[in-house]
Amino acid sequence: MAKTKTHADALTAREVDYSAWYNELVEVAALAEHSAVRGCMVIRPYGYAIWENIQRALDERIKATGHSNAYFPLFIPKSFLQKEANHVDGFAMECAVVTHSRLKKAPDGTLVPDPDSALAEELIVRPTSETIIGESFARWVKSYRDLPLLINQWANVVRWEMRTRLFLRTMEFLWQEGHTVHADYEDAERETRQMLEVYRELAEEVLAIPVIVGKKTEREKFAGAMHTYCIEAMMQDRKALQAGTSHNLGQNFARGFGITYQSKDQVETLAWTTSWGVSTRLIGGVIMTHSDDQGLVLPPAIAPVHVVVIPIRCAKPEERAAVEAYLAPLLEKLKARAFAGRAIAVQVDWSDARPGAKHFEWEKRGVPVRVEVGPRDMEQGKLVYALRTGGEKTTTTRDAFADEVLDVLARVQRGLLERARAFRDEHTRDLDDRAAFDAFFTPKNPEKPELHGGFVRGGWCGDAGCEAAVKEALKVTIRCIPLDAPAFAGACVACGQPSAAGLPRVVWAKSY
RNA sequence: CGGGCGGUGGCGCAGUGGUAGCGCACGCGGUUUGGGACCGUGAGGUCGCGGGUUCGAAUCCCGCUCGCCCGACCA
Nucleotides of B strand lying within 7 Å of any protein CB atom: 1-2, 10-12, 23-24, 26, 32-38, 65-75
Q: Is position A110 within any domain?
A: no
Query: Rounded to an integer, what distance in angstroms lies between the CA atom of residue A42 and that of residue A172?
Result: 10
Long-range CB contacts (within 8 A, 24+) of A414-420: A414/A208, A415/A389, A416/A208, A416/A289, A416/A290, A416/A297, A416/A299, A416/A389, A417/A204, A417/A205, A417/A208, A417/A209, A417/A210, A417/A299, A419/A290, A420/A208, A420/A209, A420/A210, A420/A234, A420/A289, A420/A290
Domains contained in chain A, number: 3
Residues A409 and A501 in one domain: no
Among A269, A290, A311, identify where a domain stops: A290
User: Which of these, A437, A425, A429, lies nearest to A476 by C-alpha position?
Assistant: A437
Residue A362 reports pLDDT greater than 90: yes
CATH of the domain at A432: 3.30.110.30
Question: Measured between alpha carbons, how far is A178 from A274 in angstroms, rounded to an integer?
Answer: 8
Last residue of a domain, one of A415, A445, A463: A415
pLDDT band at A328 (very low <50, low <70, confident <90, very high): very high
pLDDT of residue A446: 66
- We report the CATH number of the domain holding residue A334 as 3.40.50.800
State whether A90 and A231 are in the same domain: yes
Task: Give the structural domain span for A432.
Answer: 428-509
**Residue A132 and residue A91 in contact, taking contact as beta carbons nearer than 8 Å:** no
Which whole number is the average pLDDT over A208-225?
A: 96
Name the residue with the least CA to C1' distance from nucleotide B23: A8
**The last residue of a domain, from among A371, A388, A415:** A415
Q: Residues A192-212: pLDDT tens digits?
A: 999 999 999 999 999 999 999
Q: Examine the domain organization and report whether A327 and A347 are in the same domain.
A: yes
Say if residue A40 is in the same domain as residue A175.
yes
Looking up residue A286, the CATH number of its domain turns out to be 3.30.930.10
Spanning CA of A54 to C1' of B39, the rounded length in angstroms is 47
- A370-387 confidence digits (pLDDT tens): 999 999 999 999 999 999
Q: How high is the ipTM of this complex?
A: 0.94
* Confidence check: pLDDT of A498 > 60: yes
Classify strands A260-262 and A97-100 as parallel, antiparallel or unpaired: unpaired
> Angle at which helices A45-64 and A281-290 pack, to 10 degrees?
110
Which 55-114 residues of chain A approach strand B with CB closer than 7 Å? 90, 93-94
Q: Does residue A457 have a pLDDT over 80?
A: yes
Q: pLDDT category, A450, cuts 50, 70, 90? A: low
